[in-house]
Amino acid sequence: MKAKKIIFILAVVLASCSGNENLSDAYGNFESNDVVVSSEVNGKILVLNIQEGQKLVKSDIVGIIDTTDFALKKQQLLAQKKAVASKIENIRAQIEVQEQQKRNLLVDKARVEKMLNDGAATQKQLDDINGKIDLVDAQISSINTQNVLVRSELDVIKTQISQVEEGIKKCKIVNPLKGTVLEKYAEQGEITAFGKPVYKIADLDVLYLKVYVSGDQLPHIKLGQQTEVLIDDTKKGNRKLTGVVSWISSNAEFTPKIIQTKEERVNMVYAVKIRVKNDGSLKIGMPGEAKF
């Protein structure tokens, strides 16, 4: 009888030891690296071709915001550009006239200098021509100054046109990454504003198990370390997956409130993320376990 009791106690102890060996090192939930796509301009959403759960490709144009204001502004700037460009043409014509006058005066100057050498002209005549040439040079310099100002004005208009064109580009809602639409915050026909969220997207091909470990465990965990990840498979069994430690928090924090017992919630722990390739069975928020 005593022998049976001893055998029973040993079985319980072995079972207890075996159970402890199967305990995981950390527990947590799966999450994604999601991106919230927001509007970059103000206006009415004319087109929005997305639905929650829809898979999108990077650089897909999924929506269009009304571009009327930008288009009208661009037409106005193009008209201003044309008017300023006509000023430049007028200035160029004035400079050509002055330069022609200068050429004529230089011819006269050469003639007077020859006559002066022959004694058929006076120094005053030569001085008068030099004075006229200096006046023409001053006029050309003045016109060139106007030309610089007008060209500067033209550059400003060109910059404004580029800004408007950039605004028109931003009226297209371009999907930033390959992934699945998680949440949709706006609808076609609504008025949106700069920075207002339109939808949330994440690449679900890779999820991250975020777990919390104690300070004693931390020295044994390294970035890039391969880790065994367990998820629920049956009521009593787990399914094994392989993950890689991708992030370790540098700051301790209190255990999150999702931990049920008060004793656990007051412990200081470190957050760790484990990257796991998703075969379709992993879901955001799904619980998981890790063995380091």
Among the candidates 170, 188, 213, a domain finishes at 170
| 221-272: pLDDT as tens digits | 999 999 999 998 887 788 999 999 999 998 888 766 555 444 555 578 899 9
3-state secondary structure the chain: CHHHHHHHHHHHHHHHHHHHHCCCCEEEEEECCEEEEECCCCEEEEEECCCCCCEECCCCEEEEECCHHHHHHHHHHHHHHHHHHHHHHHHHHHHHHHHHHHHHHHHHHHHHHHHHHHCCCCHHHHHHHHHHHHHHHHHHHHHHHHHHHHHHHHHHHHHHHHHHHHHHHHCEEECCCCEEEEEECCCCCCEECCCCEEEEEECCCEEEEEEEECCCCHHHCCCCCEEEEEEECCCCCEEEEEEEEEEECCCCEECCCCCCCHHHHCCEEEEEEEEEECCCCCCCCCEEEEEC
Q: What is the pTM of this model?
A: 0.71
State the total domains in the chain: 3
Same domain, 195 and 56: yes
Same domain, 72 and 191: no
Same domain, 28 and 76: no
Residue 5 belongs to some domain of the structure:
no
| 112-132: pLDDT as tens digits | 888 888 888 888 888 898 999
Measure the CA angle with vertex 35, ends 31 and 39; round to 5°: 150
| 68-103: pLDDT as tens digits | 999 999 999 999 999 998 988 888 888 899 999 999
Same domain, 287 and 166: no
Same domain, 88 and 165: yes
Average the pLDDT over each of 59-63, 139-143, 187-191, 233-237 and give the range with the smallest value: 233-237
- How high is the pLDDT of residue 80? 94
| 39-49: pLDDT as tens digits | 999 999 999 99
Residue 7 belongs to some domain of the structure:
no
Q: What is the mean pLDDT of residues 183-198?
A: 96
Looking up tokens 């928020």, which residue turns up? 285
Same domain, 188 and 247: no
Provide the mean pLDDT of the chain: 87
Say what percent of the chain tops pLDDT 70.
88
- Flag whether pLDDT at 18 surpasses 60: no
- How high is the pLDDT of residue 22? 55
CATH (domain of 261): 2.40.30.170
pLDDT band at 17 (very low <50, low <70, confident <90, very high): very low
Q: 94 versus 17: which is more confidently predicted?
A: 94
Same domain, 282 and 152: no
User: Residue 240: beta bridge partners?
Assistant: 230
- How high is the pLDDT of residue 256? 67
- How high is the pLDDT of residue 6? 36
- Flag whether pLDDT at 12 surpasses 70: no
Residue 9 belongs to some domain of the structure:
no
Residue 218 belongs to some domain of the structure:
yes
| 158-174: pLDDT as tens digits | 999 999 999 999 999 99
Same domain, 29 and 91: no
- How high is the pLDDT of residue 162? 96
Same domain, 184 and 225: no
Same domain, 78 and 160: yes
Same domain, 137 and 229: no
Residue 15 belongs to some domain of the structure:
no
Distance CA(118)–CA(107), nearest Å, equals 17
Residue 272 belongs to some domain of the structure:
yes
Same domain, 60 and 176: yes
**Full domain range(s) for residue 250:** 24-35+203-291
